Amino acid sequence: MTSIKSKLAEFKASSQPTIKELKFIITRIKKSPLSIVGLAILTFYIAIALLAPVIAPPVPPPMGKEDPFIVWKDLNIPAINRTVPHPPDATHPFGTTEESYDLYYGCIWGTITAFKVGLMVIVLSLIIGLVTGAIAGYYGGIVDEVLMRFTDMVIAVPGLVLCMALVVALPPQFVINLGFTQLTVGLSKLDRVLLALVLVGWPSYTRVIRGEILKVRVEDYVEAARAAGCSDLRVMTKHILPNTIYPILIMASLDTGAIVLTAAALSFLGLGAPSGYADWGQLISLSRNYIYANLSNPAANWWVWLIPGIFIFTFVLGWNLLGDAFRDILDPTLRRR
Partner 1 sequence: MGNLVEVQDLVLRFYTYEGVVKALEGINLQIKEEETLGVVGETGCGKTMTGLSILGITPPPGKIESGKVLFKSKYGKTLNLLAQNERILRHIRGSDISMIFQEPGAALNPVYTVENQIAEAILHHRRKELLEKVLAQIEKDGTEKKIYKKMLENPKSLIIKVFTKIPIIGRQSRLKKEVRKEVVNILREMEIGDPERVANMYPHELSGGMQQRVVIAMALACNPTLLIADEPTTSLDVTVQAQILDLIRRLKKTFKSSVLYITHDMGVIAEVCDRVAVMYAGHICEIAEVKELFRNPAHPYTKALLESIPKPGEEFKSISGMVPNLINPPLGCRFHPRCPFAKPICAEEMPKLKEVKQEQFVACHLY
Q: Give the DSSP per-residue string, 24-41.
A: HHHHHHHH-HHHHHHHHH
Give min distance, CB of 125 to partner 1, in A: 24
Q: Give the DSSP per-residue string, 97-118.
A: -GGGBBHHHHHHHHHHHHHHHH
Q: Are 92 and 102 in contact (CB under 8 A)?
A: yes
Q: Is 30 an interacting residue with respect to partner 1 (CB under 8 A)?
A: no
Q: Is 11 an interacting residue with respect to partner 1 (CB under 8 A)?
A: yes
Give min distance, CB of 285 to partner 1, in A: 45
Q: Which is nearer to partner 1, 66 or 220 (CB)?
A: 220
Q: Is 297 an interacting residue with respect to partner 1 (CB under 8 A)?
A: no
Q: Which is nearer to partner 1, 140 or 211 (CB)?
A: 140
Of 15, 27, 91, 275, the one binding partner 1 (CB under 8 A) is: 15
Residue whose C-alpha is closest to residue 310's, from 25, 114, 90, 82: 114
In whole angstroms, give the CA distance from residue 216 to residue 8.
41
In whole angstroms, give the CA distance from residue 92 to residue 82.
14
Q: Are 208 and 248 in contact (CB under 8 A)?
A: yes
Tell me the site size for partner 1, rule CB under 8 A.
29
Q: Which is nearer to partner 1, 61 or 229 (CB)?
A: 229
Give min distance, CB of 221 to partner 1, in A: 4
Q: Is 28 an interacting residue with respect to partner 1 (CB under 8 A)?
A: no
Stretch that binds partner 1, among 16-24, 41-49, 65-73, 80-88 (CB under 8 A): 16-24
Subset of 198-237 contacting partner 1 (CB under 8 A): 218-221, 223-231
Radius of gyration of the chain (CA): 25
In whole angstroms, give the CA distance from residue 241 to residue 239.
6
Q: Which is nearer to partner 1, 19 or 157 (CB)?
A: 19
Count other Cβ atoms within 10 Å, centred on residue 260.
27
- How many residues are recorded in the chain? 337
Subset of 304-333 contacting partner 1 (CB under 8 A): 332-333
Q: Print the binding letters for residues 242-261 with partner 1: x by CB under 8 A, - otherwise.
A: xx------------------
40, 122, 53, 45 alpha-carbon torsion, rounded to 10° = 10
Give min distance, CB of 194 to partner 1, in A: 29
Give min distance, CB of 234 to partner 1, in A: 8
Count other Cβ atoms within 10 Å, centred on residue 291.
15
Q: Which is nearer to partner 1, 16 or 188 (CB)?
A: 16
Helices 103-139 and 33-55: crossing angle, nearest 10°? Answer: 130
Residues that bind partner 1 (CB under 8 A): 11, 14-18, 20, 140, 218-221, 223-231, 238-239, 242-243, 332-333, 335-336
